[in-house]
Amino acid sequence: MKKMIMLIFAAIAISTLTNSYQVQANAETNANIKAPSASPALRACIKEYRKENYIGALQGLRAIVKQNKNDFYAKYYMALCYTQLGYKKQAEDLYKQVSDNSKNLALIHYSKLAVTCLNNPTSAECSAAPAVEGEQKQEVVVD
């Protein structure tokens, strides 16, 4: 389970950096492109998640999603919390909502990967995750 989470975190970090570079490259041709930004509420929830306070993070994330059903970063973090707490069905439902409705290609890809790993943790895709002891978790990077 931890190996799967590490894979998801690493992949999100890499893809977010890639998206940032694409935004910078496109900035010359389209000044309206902006990197996603996080509300103070989402930042607070991410902080709770990083402190491994998954229940506290979930409470805040639910409030965010109640106000904005299209906040797919919040839904993704909710899925991560449910995964950590062992609620596979809730996590899978949220990952599917993100992959089916988000416009962020990174979130779509890694939500699909998370569903694969939840259902088949021994899959080759899931076992490719780095499992270095003490490695810092990587999450979605938001402004």
Nearest to 94 by CA among 126, 61, 121, 67: 61
Question: Is the pLDDT higher at 112 or at 137?
Answer: 112
How do residues 21-38 score in pLDDT, each as one tens digit? 444 444 333 333 344 678
Q: 7: exposed, middle or buried (C-beta count within 10 Å: 0-12, 13-18, 19+)?
A: buried
- Look at the pTM and tell me if it is higher than 0.75: no
The first and second tokens of residue 125, run together, are 């895709």
